[in-house]
A and B are shown apart, each in its own frame.
Chain A
């Protein structure tokens, strides 16, 4: 059909426009497909790992060995398994390996690489540990005098994030790893050297509290760790949740937004074909026939963009998988492959949207009479902005009218400018908010620098530092733990309410931190029931005030008050806070936490990932920004081609034409910047709101002036770049061509 030549001509003469659309589509598709593929496969394998491994719901340590597991299981609908382990020294290093026997019901190990245990001297080791120790499958390792042969890499869900103690913040592959040996090999170790934990899985309808009470009565619970408080598994789970949010919500939404924006732009472009459509219509082509034919103009960039995007995504999947998963945890993952659903969406969504947009625009444009279309009259007469007699330069008036009388176009341009800014602002605001949160949350806790957790209860006053009695509790049926702290009047811990006034540490008075009051819906004057998470003993606490602290789950009172509540000696303490370092013997301490390392850990778990993303996102945002602005202003140039051509005929230089016609949107840049920053902040706020549960705290939306300036800078630079790219478009407008068929 001769009509086909029209597309070719149309595409050819607007090549940069269609190219930009294709590229932008490809970019959106590429991001979506690459992330969805690399992450989707990992997420699937993570889910599979969880369902294959049967991870524990809780881990219990008891005073006495639990000898009637079978009866407990039957009575309380739980599954329970004794899981002993032994910590062995690795010869010639400072490292330790925690060796397990294979479980049968809970926390089943999975082989990531290599082969299963066969011989007495076979051992499976965790991957990160092997990597740090420079070990590979087939090597031997000497553990406390016995030589093992490494037959493979193991993954245990109860040590996914490989922490020696649950309260540790870092996984230290240089010093700690886990291993699994055959039962027969494990049984050779002296049971006196072994530690025993009981792993529990609750079946549907199991009464966990009744079960715990029973266990405590008979065997005395020393510690009970709900899986939600066990970062060995929870931390990787959270990481997956966070990625899930980015990959399955933010990226698809961005892609859809981009596709819709392009669809609108395409429609707008086709509107310029009104006259041609009118002529063809007058010549007897049917409406639907014409609309369908024009749809091809939408379908081509849609399909091409989709295919290009998918092709570009393929090489990214591998590295992206590594980046997303590898350095975060020891999850075995299948080599990522492209996911068919993502490809299908990538191919169909843009193509369908663009085609429909063009089809509808073409149809709408055929509503008027053919004559009107040929003359280029639109049905709804636009009102032009007045200023007829205003004493202004005609250029100014032209710009004002172009901006205000063509408002939909102007709106598109603003959106185009704002789009990149939104992405950048979102990322920067996210980083800023987290940084500030890390900063203030650590500061808000007080002036101390070190926390020493003692291995035994002491009484009186320590030589250095300030004594604290601390214990963890569950709040009613919530497995998240709250810390009950008894402190002495001191300068290290701030006990202030939200308006900055001191809260008196009087006897019998308890204060709850802001964060917990928010989490447990507790107000001043309320009573809260807390439960010792080992012996399940319950205490009623009357809340006398709210403590300014948005980052810790905390109940605070005087040391005497807490000790008398817990039935301990009045001046007992289990922890020492100090500004200076105190030299304790190793045996005196359970652990030592420095605030700086805490801040670092917080920073690492929540803000490092975002920091890493800053540069790539900024670059992507700039590319998106440049292309969208280019597209939007390209529309302007298409719609002004007869003006441009006329100005050329009149002897205007290209520079002058650009100044009059192309550069009319400079004044919109600040609006675009403001809108972009605003959208970005809004997105960030939404992000933190939806994720408050995950971070276990509400992170306040915050952005530094520096970041705002960077956002503005990036938006402006992108704008300048697209203006530069557009400046040569004016050169290409033919004088003769547009004189022949231009008449408004």
Chain B
């Protein structure tokens, strides 16, 4: 397994308000797979993704990505890990408002060892027309594509997407997902997608369901569909 979580436990709060956001999570995916994570609200999806991305740390258990056990890393170790290997896309695009589309992508290109050519990437994401615009001047879908470009420019090994289509209509969602499909095919990027939309799960190689902080299903998708064939 390329990604492996063993007995991951994460608790928030204390006393009566104690919440087990991860309750002994066992999980793994292979390199280059697209994994879709499903589950009701509050079940711990984002928590798991944040752990994988090195934004948050486990109370107990371990996480291994490739050769690195990131659950053993300190703050700066995690920062280096994020810097080198992980791309993030969130529901809220979190673009830097004072920077244009292109500059937002440069932010990441600037700190990565071998960034992809920015203009090619923007072209692939159909953003060439918009690259000198500020985030406020873009639609939600365009902003999200910019966020994807930012996540991809370092050519990360893992791309983590938390409800990236949550704020988009179905046309824009489809556009965005097409990009992920393209990237996965071209760079063999391992992609994890959190969604509430069952339709999206059909583009996955692997489908995971979470409930109350536990993984209740981890199965391969036998009839994987192209994004253009999804009903979302």
Contacts and interface: CB of A to CB of B under 8 A. Distances in A.
Interface string A504-516: 0000000000000
Interface stretch (B22-30, B81-89, B218-226): B81-89
A724 B163 CA distance: 38
Interface stretch (A127-135, A649-657, A673-681, A684-692): A649-657
Interface in A625-664: 642-643, 646-653, 656
A389 B136 CA distance: 17
A642 B53 CA distance: 18
A59 to B, nearest CB: 74
A584 interface: no
B99 interface: yes
A744 B140 CA distance: 12
Contact of B99 (A394, A650, A735, A742): A394
Given A643-B96, A743-B93, A744-B135, A653 B103 contact: no
A743 B143 CA distance: 12
Given A398-B98, A405-B98, A650-B82, A735 B55 contact: yes
Contact of B94 (A388, A394, A395, A642): A642
Contacts of B90: 739
Interface in A394-432: 394-395, 397-398, 401-402, 405
Of A402, A656, A735, most B-chain CB atoms within 10 Å: A735
B94 A651 contact: no
A653 B79 contact: yes
A499 B164 CA distance: 81
Of A394, A397, A653, A743, most B-chain CB atoms within 10 Å: A394
Nearest to A392: B103
A736 interface: yes
* A interface: dominant SS: helix
A651 B82 contact: yes
A384 interface: yes
B79 A651 contact: yes
B108 interface: yes
B92 interface: yes
B56 interface: yes
Contact of A394 (B81, B88, B110, B133): B110
Interface in B89-112: 90, 92-94, 96-100, 103, 106-108, 110-111
Contact of A648 (B79, B100, B103): B79
Nearest to B101: A388
Contacts of B99: 394, 397-398, 401
B156 to A, nearest CB: 10
B76 interface: yes
Given A405-B98, A643-B96, A736-B56, A394 B79 contact: no
Given A397-B103, A742-B92, A651 B98 contact: no
Given A394-B99, A394-B106, A736-B50, A743 B79 contact: no
A384 B133 CA distance: 11
A639 to B, nearest CB: 11
A363 to B, nearest CB: 25
A13 B79 CA distance: 23
A650 B107 contact: yes
A743 B94 contact: yes
Of A389, A393, A743, most B-chain CB atoms within 10 Å: A743
A329 to B, nearest CB: 61
A398 B97 CA distance: 10
A742 B95 CA distance: 10
Interface residues of B, number: 34
A744 B136 contact: yes
B59 interface: no
A656 B111 contact: yes
A196 to B, nearest CB: 85
Given A651-B82, A653-B76, A739-B90, A398 B96 contact: yes
Nearest to B107: A394
Contacts of B55: 649, 735-736, 739
A651 B84 contact: yes
B132 A401 contact: no
Nearest to B85: A651
B100 A388 contact: yes
Given A744-B135, A744-B136, A651 B111 contact: yes
Contact of A651 (B83, B93, B96, B133): B83
Contacts of A395: 110
B174 to A, nearest CB: 23
Contact of B132 (A388, A398, A643): A388
Contacts of B76: 653
Interface string A576-598: 00000000000000000000000
A647 B107 contact: yes
B80 interface: yes
A735 B79 CA distance: 11
A218 to B, nearest CB: 89
Contacts of A652: 79, 83, 111
Contacts of B81: 651
A603 B120 CA distance: 74
Contacts of B111: 650-652, 656
A649 B49 CA distance: 13
A642 B90 CA distance: 13
Interface string B26-57: 00000000000000000000000010010110
Nearest to B110: A394
Contacts of A649: 53, 55, 82, 88, 94
Contacts of B98: 384, 398, 401-402, 405, 643
Contacts of A648: 79
A388 B131 CA distance: 9
A743 B92 contact: yes
B19 to A, nearest CB: 14
A650 B132 contact: no
B50 A651 contact: no
A642 B93 CA distance: 11
A732 B219 CA distance: 39
Interface in A723-743: 735-736, 739, 742-743
Contacts of A402: 98
A388 B99 CA distance: 9
A648 B111 CA distance: 12
Given A394-B103, A394-B107, A646-B94, A384 B134 contact: yes
A562 B31 CA distance: 110
Contacts of A739: 55, 90, 92, 94
A74 to B, nearest CB: 86
B93 A389 contact: no
A434 to B, nearest CB: 48
A739 B46 CA distance: 11
Nearest to A401: B98
Contacts of A735: 55-56
Interface in A338-395: 384, 388-389, 393-395
A738 to B, nearest CB: 9
A646 B151 CA distance: 12
Of B56, B98, B136, most A-chain CB atoms within 10 Å: B98
A278 B53 CA distance: 32
Of B50, B97, B99, B111, most A-chain CB atoms within 10 Å: B97
19 contacts: A388-B100, A393-B106, A394-B110, A398-B99, A401-B98, A405-B98, A649-B94, A650-B111, A651-B111, A652-B79, A653-B83, A656-B111, A736-B50, A736-B55, A739-B92, A742-B94, A743-B92, A743-B94, A744-B97
* Complex A-B, nearest 9 residue pairs according to Cβ-Cβ distance, in ascending order: A651-B83, A651-B82, A388-B132, A394-B103, A743-B92, A394-B106, A744-B97, A401-B98, A735-B55
